A and B are shown apart, each in its own frame.
Chain A
Amino acid sequence: MKYTQKDFKSDQEVRWCPGCGDYAVLAALQRVLPKVCEEKGIDKEKVVVISGIGCSSRLPYYMNTYGFHSIHGRATAVSTGVKVANPELCVWQASGDGDALAIGGNHFIHAIRRNVDINIMLFNNRIYGMTKGQYSPTSKLGAITKTSPYGTVENPFNPGSLVLGSKGTFFARSLDVDLALSEEMMLEASRHKGTSVMEFLTNCVIFNNGVHSDVTDKETRAERTIVLRDGQKMIFGKDGEKCLVLDGWKLKVALVSEVREEDILVHDSHSDNLGLQMQLADMRGPEFPVALGVIRRVCDGTYDERVASQAEEVSQRSKVHSLDELLSSGATWKVE
């Protein structure tokens, strides 16, 4: 490979709190980009990293690539502009749950609707860290924070259902503590043409410590998560004793020993089965394991490609190819 992880590290000192989950996602990105460049046959100057505002949005400063640290909530709009202006660029975006789903919710769903070919890394720590501990749109109902001293009284978003509800073409989930899986998700995202949303469940060690510990703790992870892989049966648990089956239209956790083997669901991220994928993305404890891996990836035209191909097609049909021709088009008259 032409590049190593080191080539993607900038000279800026990383200034996240010790123990912050963002370090691991940054490391995964720096590790995967040499592979991405290799696979795509591109040089590193084609890589652009864009962010909004928040702790995780500092990420571009730590990358030795073209980078843009924009304003709160608008990273998706900036990324879209970059990709449409130059579809050859490989665009990565870092946004937190506040940036992408609160102030930037509108841009987020519209980028997904358009299917712009960008890779969105959504750092979900369920809290506003940079402003020191207010609840976010993914904070659980009842979460006690500085702005909800008696607990929140509003339901959170599940980023996965928002993506799939917008008919997103790619959604994957990983944990900050699972570097290998994060790297794998990033590689899959870079291979996907369209808006790839990766949700990373990250820990905010200062303001929301342990918010994901039920799924990230080593002792319980096998019981409380399931890594979905195409063609594989949906089996989980420390000893692979549990599985997912359908009960009518609904998902159900069952014991492998108590169901017929052919009734155990087999994952297919490529199928356009939004209903099932939505249920998988929505699974949460204690009843269900949290789904990790690529939950959905389906093919569709991308916005940037369609913009370019329409321009090409219209140009071929058009009779006007220079500004002088345009200025003289339509009704004109001569004064002599």
Chain B
Amino acid sequence: MQHKVIDAEDVVIRFAGDSGDGMQLTGTLFANTSAVFGNSLSTFPDYPAEIRAPKGTVSGVSGFQVHIGSRKVNTPGDYCDMLVAMNPAALKANAKWLKRTGLVLVNSDAFDDASLQKAGFTTDDPFVEAGVSDRNIIVAPISNLTKESLADSGLDPASILKCKNMFTLGMACYIYSRPLDYVYGYIASKFAKKHPEMVEPNRKVVTDGFNYAAAIQAVPNVYTIAPAKLENGTYRNITGNQALAWGLIAAAQKAGLKLFCGSYPITPATGILEELALHKSLGAKTMQTEDEIAGICTSIGAAFAGDLAVTTTSGPGLALKTEALGLAVMTELPLVVVDVQRAGPCTGMPTKTEQTDLNEALYGRNGECPVVVLSSHSPAHCFDAAFMAAKIALERMTPVLLLSEGFLGNGSEPWRIPSMSDYPEIKPRYAKASEAPFRPFERDEKTLSRSWAVPGTPGLEHRVGGLEKMHSGALSTDPENHALMVSERAEKVARVADMIPPLEIDGAASGELLVVGWGGTFGHILSAVEEARKEGISLSFAHFDFINPLPANTGEVLAGFRKVLVCELNSGHFAAYLRSKFPDHEYLQCNKVQGQTFLVHEILSSIKKAL
């Protein structure tokens, strides 16, 4: 069959199926294939909290969206050009994400009466009911085609049926002109050692899917998406959690330290602990502790004993670590706490993304208890953010809270691999023994940071703890001493501003509107700003990676604009924070608290309303 070939600048594909259908893998392989092909891309997995929710129901639908482009792609995309629905529930749950011009690919074998009913369809035409009957629909009996393809493979029927996602992947690769080389390579390395009998069947089924799509008339067009013009270099695809773990290892190496991570598994942060656990050869020690509190307390112990110490968690875990984080503030030990945010409060929606822990990060402790707070703005940026968090902690003897998001942790994008020689040294401020007795809370004049006296060093024996102390280390309830220590601890954090880069403005330095964001909303805001400019709107954009302290030029930047529009996935934490620091500006808000990322058009409409 000769299909018409269309050049597309970018396309969005959403793979959706039952949580056992393997859609996360299909989406990841499609994304990696596109990355190796040279496209710019962004991905986002959208999956239920249940490992296997009731089969065939809407609540059990697992999705993976990938946006690929021949120019820079900022987000996983609002709406998709192709929706792959492996069962009726997947169609029902995702039809709303399909573009008016979109294409639907369904596994017709899964559209029997019982499944339609389970998905909540009440008529016998799910396409009309889902509102997609006017689109191009490829109705393919994928289960049966997979069975035919592997009839002679010697695999048992259950194993054969599991391969239907690979058949689907083959079809998608044909429709979007993706070569299969990467997938073949993946299959070979995945199965070669333990299940060599699986290599050939998987190769065959993905190839048969590709050829099937090539042969049928139902495929309306074939698309090509040219490689993006990216900066020269070697690239890899990376998720936020992986990048964050690697950034921590990098920092430990630059500081000449071992890395200790005490953590308790929690969605969506667990990937960091899992990744670190792999890298013992690079000096990473991981400890899966009995609870969140032990996670941070073992890390505080390790920090006291001289490791670069880290604990990773999500919102509910951060709540449990609160008291111990105060201990790290009081003992002035270097500690990195990572919060991969998810929808709250309490257990909330564990697999859904949000930025609702900012207030908790800034204010969620007893007493006057400032910590450095920073955030990462894209999956790959998690590497730099983690590196910087560790550098600040070690050089300024303070706990640092790094905010990531479920969207970043599980999302992925291509990353130009840096050389470690491009990264700065990290120089912890070690104490030196002298004749005079060691004073553990004596401070550096410039940074106000104390020095680190690691057990095992002769002559520096000292005691730290949660009780208020004097510079000498002696306990004290003296009112003036307490006031002094409170102000010094706050000022120490404030002075971190001298080591962070100034806030950059995308656009003119003054004007009517400055759009502001922080964390993982970066790509969506950038896209909305670019769209607005295309429509002739003049505006500027500034994105904050550093939240406490703010970059030193923040007030100056804000002063250039009549209005500031703060976009964030919460009810307005950062807007309130900016208002408290710089009250003389007019702040407008663009907020969303649905457990979902922004859609570009939502920000765009807020921008238009602001003007």
Contact = CB atoms under 8 A, between A and B. Distances in A.
A327 B474 CA distance: 46
A71 B287 contact: no
Interface string B312-342: 0000000000011001000100000000000
Nearest to B327: A71
Contacts of A2: none
A85 B260 contact: yes
A326 B260 contact: no
- The DSSP consensus for interface residues of chain B is mixed
**How many residues of B sit at the interface, in one of the four size bands?**
35 or more
A243 B177 CA distance: 87
Interface string B117-144: 0000000000000000000000000000
A331 B237 CA distance: 8
A50 B36 CA distance: 52
A23 to B, nearest CB: 18
A88 B456 contact: yes
B251 to A, nearest CB: 10
A267 interface: no
A171 B299 CA distance: 27
Nearest to A329: B236
B235 A333 contact: yes
8 contacts: A69-B463, A80-B294, A83-B301, A323-B253, A324-B419, A331-B186, A331-B236, A335-B230
B309 interface: yes
A106 B305 CA distance: 23
B455 A70 contact: no
Nearest to A66: B455
Interface in A1-43: 10, 12, 43
A99 B111 CA distance: 60
A48 interface: yes
Interface residues of A, number: 57
| Best-buried of A81, A321, A322, A334 by chain B (most CB within 10 Å) | A81
B462 A67 contact: yes
A314 B327 contact: no
Nearest to B457: A45
- The DSSP consensus for interface residues of chain A is mixed
Given A82-B301, A334-B235, A328 B462 contact: no
Interface string B187-217: 0000000000000000000000000000000
Given A69-B467, A70-B466, A78 B38 contact: no
Contact of A68 (B249, B457, B463): B463
B182 A70 contact: no
A330 interface: yes
A29 to B, nearest CB: 15
Nearest to B290: A110
Interface string A91-117: 000000000000000110010000000
Given A70-B465, A327-B417, A331-B237, A81 B282 contact: no
B402 to A, nearest CB: 19
A77 interface: yes
Given A85-B260, A107-B294, A320 B282 contact: yes
Interface string B452-463: 000111111111
A249 B208 CA distance: 70
Nearest to B32: A331
B514 interface: no
Contacts of A146: none
Given A71-B327, A78-B297, A314 B280 contact: yes
A241 to B, nearest CB: 47
A327 B475 contact: no
A311 B259 CA distance: 12
Nearest to B252: A323
